[in-house]
Amino acid sequence: MKNLKAHHHLAVASMLVFGVVGVWTWGTMVFAGNNTTVTVNVGPADSCPNIPGYQTSVPSGMLVDGDGNCYTPPPPAVDMCANMAGTQETIPDGYYHENSSCFPQPTPSKDVCPNLTGTQNSVPEGYTNTENELCVRPATDMCSNITGTQALVPDELDRAEDGTCFTPSVTSPTLPPSSEDPPLSPQQPGIAGLSDLKNVPAFFEPFLRPYVDMIPLAAQEALRAMPPIVARTFPYFTFAILAISAAIMGWQSGREILAARRMTRAAKRERDIAAEKDNFIHLASHYFKSPLMAMNAVAGSSSKRLTTLLKDLETDIDRIVSDIDSNSALSDIKAPEKPRFGHLDFISSSFFWLPVATALVIAWTSNFFLGVVGNVEIGTFNLIAQAGVFIASALFFYSSVRTHHIKLEERDYREQVLAYEEALDHARNEFIENSVLVLTNRLDQLDALRDSAPHEKSRAFTRGLDDMRELLHKFKLLSEIETGVTGASEKFDLRASVDELVRFYQQRLDEKNLRVVVDIPSSTINQRRSLFDFVLGSLIDNTIKFAERGSTITISAVPHEHSLTVQVSDSATTAVDNGHKRTQKAPMRFTYDGLGLSLFLDRIIMDSLGGSLSLSSAGSHQSTINITAPKK
């Protein structure tokens, strides 16, 4: 549930975004289309849609403009001064009117408004002339909501207290009048209580009527003016948003599946490499006995201090081998419990119920306001279809959330498995490092007593110490291999790296009169160089051991698109081949201490670097060891 809650914000935000964009797009299309294509009236179209109410015809004295709206045309202009050029709708200043003509004012001035008290040289502000030489105030506009000036309320219209004119309630021409229940036109302003509620069963109407009557008449009128297509399609958009959120959950589930698969592959790789490391640890721990026996044989009756240290070294080795055999370093790490995939805890989460309940409430509210208050006939079939679409959307959402929840649990389990494998590897590496530290301290103490060994056997004692140190070096190198993680990588030139290794082994090459041919072009790879160089050096070292005196060792490279194969070939005996075969079996002992253990470690390192190690033979005198590694 933690992961489910962590993701619900994204899904809810996605629903909001899709909801806003979807409703805006839907509303634009619906209302834009309604202006030109949607007809709502029952019977003839409303002759004056800009005037509230239903007009069966254009009122007397009014005209219709290009937009279909009714207006009162202005009166024709009257020329007050027929003797002057142009049309003068009023008497010019400094003139007086007489017999439809205008003359300059004499001295004293002639009164241009004989009906007003006093002498007026010009028409006072706020007054206008008439043809009978009277000055009067302009007529009051009786209908402020209609274009033009209406001195009187047009025929067939009534005037409201706010100065607007409207058509009084009439019966649609196509519907016979009824004295009991006069039907209302869909665009006619409604009055609460005049008709039965639409889309509501008769037995339920008494419960809804008080709520409908509580809504202001202006709001009811606005709802009744809403295009029917709005009322009939709006709920489906809420269901579509619910379905879109379900699709988003499905997409997230797909991502969780991919993530779980990646972690499964990573965990498998962890286990595979960990198994190889466990085998190597068992193998190397038993090899500790061989140099220890050699040093004990050399010490003989040497100093008591040397004998005591060798005894302590043997005790440390026995304890390490015992801890390895009992797996004590890993015993306290518990594997995760597999979850019960598919249980229904998510149903109790608001994340599941909130979208479903919201869609249901919005659909019910829109049906109430538009279908009941707005008096739009929704239709029984439409309501049944809404219920069906809602149930289908809710089931789709339930299925998507359940699948997403299961995949989240599965991914969480895979994360725990991966963390478990990493914890095992960390504990394993820590055990190796501690063991190496203990044995290294013992070897340092023994190295200080090197001179205590009998002179004739000092070389054998030194060789035993060196063999033990080399074995510890390989043992410690194993702890540097992080399963599933290559560690810090660096770019380096492969040819330069091989040349440097050849120079390191040059003395041994000269001792056996071996010739090395390096056929590697300059190429850059990005790998963990310390581990990669160890594998190359190990292969060159083993090749030198088994190469015939005077033979040729060839080191070549075969580039690929994303990887590189390095081949080390020589005319060796079949001992290398036999050693390689032994590395495939995770054995507990080898007939040759160095060969099988080195190749075993080399293969583990290449696995950790994302590569591989293989051996091929061409006849009985030619063998080639191949290492393939990704360039990055």
How much is the CA Rg of the chain, to the nearest whole Å?
50
Q: How many CB atoms lie within 10 A of CB 315?
A: 11
Q: Whole-angstrom distance between the N-terminal and C-terminal Cα of the chain?
A: 38
DSSP SS3 for 567? strand
In CATH, the architecture of 486-630 is 2-Layer Sandwich (3.30)
- Is the pLDDT at 436 greater than 80? The verdict is yes
372, 212 contact by CB (below 8 A): yes
Instruction: For residue 254, give the nearest of 64, 457, 403 by alpha carbon.
Output: 403
- Is the pLDDT at 12 greater than 60? The verdict is no
Mean pLDDT of 622-626: 78
pLDDT of residue 596: 64
448: its two tokens: 């200080």
Task: Measure the CA–CA gap between 624 and 565, rounded to whole angstroms.
Answer: 12
Percentage of residues in the chain having pLDDT higher than 70: 77
- Is the pLDDT at 575 greater than 50? The verdict is no
Those residues with Cβ within 8 angstroms of residue 626's Cβ, 6 or more apart along the chain or in another chain: 565, 566, 567, 613, 614, 615, 616
pLDDT of residue 456: 61
Q: Between 130 and 360, whose confidence is greater?
A: 360
162: its two tokens: 């706010």
Maximum C-alpha span of the chain: 160
Mean pLDDT of 365-392: 85
Q: Which residue has the tokens 């770019």?
A: 491
Query: How is the chain split into domains, by residue range?
Result: 73-132, 256-466, 486-630
Q: Between 255 and 480, whose confidence is greater?
A: 255
pLDDT of residue 174: 42
pLDDT of residue 328: 77
pLDDT of residue 595: 45
Mean pLDDT of 456-481: 78
232, 378 contact by CB (below 8 A): yes
58-71 per-position pLDDT tens digit:
887 788 887 788 88
